[in-house]
Amino acid sequence: LRCGMRTTKCQLLVTSLCVMLLGLSIATLSTVTHYGLHFTLISNISLDSNAYRVIHHTAFYFGICLSMTLILAALLSSAATVRESQCLTAMGFFCFALAFCGLIPAACWRYTHSTEVEDSMMDVYDFVYEEVRRNTSSFRRHELTAIHEAFLCCGKHSPFGDTTSVENKTCPPGQVHDEGQDCLREIQDFLKKHMDFVFSLLGVSIGFTVYGMILTSFLWFSIHFSSNLYRKGKYILR
Using a 10 angstrom Cβ sphere, with 0-12 exposed, 13-18 middle and 19 or more buried, the burial of residue 149 is: middle
* Residue 98 located in a structural domain: yes
C-alpha–C-alpha distance, residues 99 and 106, integer Å? 11
**Radius of gyration, CA atoms only, the chain:** 26
C-alpha–C-alpha distance, residues 176 and 188, integer Å? 19
pLDDT in tens, 111-156: 787 788 889 999 999 888 888 888 766 788 898 889 988 888 888 7
* Residue 79 located in a structural domain: yes
Query: Does the pLDDT of residue 212 top 60, yes or no?
Result: yes
As a whole-number percent, the residues of the chain with pLDDT over 90 amount to 41
Encode burial over 188-224: b for 16+ CB neighbours within 10 A, e otherwise: bebbeebeeebeebbeebbebbebbbbbbbbbbebbe
C-alpha–C-alpha distance, residues 59 and 30, integer Å? 7
pLDDT at residue 99 in the model = 95
* Residue 163 located in a structural domain: no
* Residue 33 located in a structural domain: yes
**Full domain range(s) for residue 190:** 1-149+183-228
Total of domains in the chain: 1
C-alpha–C-alpha distance, residues 4 and 191, integer Å? 46
* Residue 215 located in a structural domain: yes
* Residue 88 located in a structural domain: yes
* Residue 23 located in a structural domain: yes
pLDDT in tens, 148-157: 888 888 887 6
DSSP string over 137-183 = -HHHHHHHHHHHHHHT--S---TT----HHHHHHSPTT--GGGT--H
Of the segments 58-67, 82-91, 181-190, which one has the largest average pLDDT value? Answer: 58-67
